Amino acid sequence: MTGVLRNMFGSVLALIGALASVWSAFRPWYNGRTGTDIRLQDVFQGITTHGASELTSLLLPMCVAALLTVVGVLLRSRLLVALAGVLVLVFTILWMVRQAQASGDLTAGGPGLGSGAALATGGGLLLLLAALSMSGRSLRRSRHRRGGRRGHEGAPYPPEPYGDTHYSGPAHGASTERYGDDIPEVYGEPPRRPSPEEPGGDGIGGPGRPPTSGGPPWRDPGEGGGGREP
């Protein structure tokens, strides 16, 4: 039986046991006396003929057990369901002991034990059976939620340093030259073309170009010559 089916089956048994325990307080326990008429202090001090209100009778521990059962079913807690069953059985057994001391013996039916005591006993046993039937919460899932992501060795991954990183400069011995520092400037003002009168200029263009040697001087075509002299 899978864990889901076990939890469903155990939850149904637990709710039935809690309902039987609460309903037992309205049924006769002994000699026609209902559980709502039996005082809680009589369970510890001895049975008397004094009546009780609903909040000070056996109805109170049965309601507390029912509340524990509901919380245990919602949380899938076997411990809470088992605790509810133990609470019901403890008060039922203590009452039987006190009633046997007061009347001398316990007999079922007629003037003896009624259906209320039987329902309380059966409800407590059902709660214990429900706690044994439930699989409880998955330990793997609860550990995963508490531990978060984990690596192959079971250790959690270190937190990622978002927002804390900063550039601290190049490593020791690394070059500090930036990419593109050796690329010449492409854009900008082009170099000025020197005139023939400027030193180092021959009228053709090009900054700092020395005059041509070994031939006649250059004449500007606009001055009537054009080209070199023959």
pLDDT band at 214 (very low <50, low <70, confident <90, very high): low
Query: Percentage of the chain with pLDDT > 90?
Result: 41
pLDDT of residue 184: 54
Cα 94 to chain centroid distance, Å, stands at 43
Burial of 77 (0-12, 13-18, 19+ CB in 10 A): middle
Q: Among 69-73, 101-105, 114-118, 173-177, which is the least confidently predicted range?
A: 173-177
pLDDT band at 93 (very low <50, low <70, confident <90, very high): very high
Cβ-count burial 142-166 (b if 16+ within 10 Å, e if not): eeeeeeeeeeeeeeeeeeeeeeeee
d(CA 185, CA 190): 11
pLDDT band at 229 (very low <50, low <70, confident <90, very high): very low
- Angle value at C-alpha 181, between 178 and 185, nearest 5 degrees: 150
Q: Among 49-53, 96-100, 109-113, 122-126, which is the least confidently predicted range?
A: 109-113
Name the pairing type of β-strands 33-34 and 28-30: antiparallel
Phi-psi region of 182 (alpha: psi -120 to 50; beta: other; left: phi over 0): alpha
Task: Indicate the Cα dihedral angle 70, 127, 42, 98, nearest 10°.
Answer: 180
pLDDT of residue 135: 85
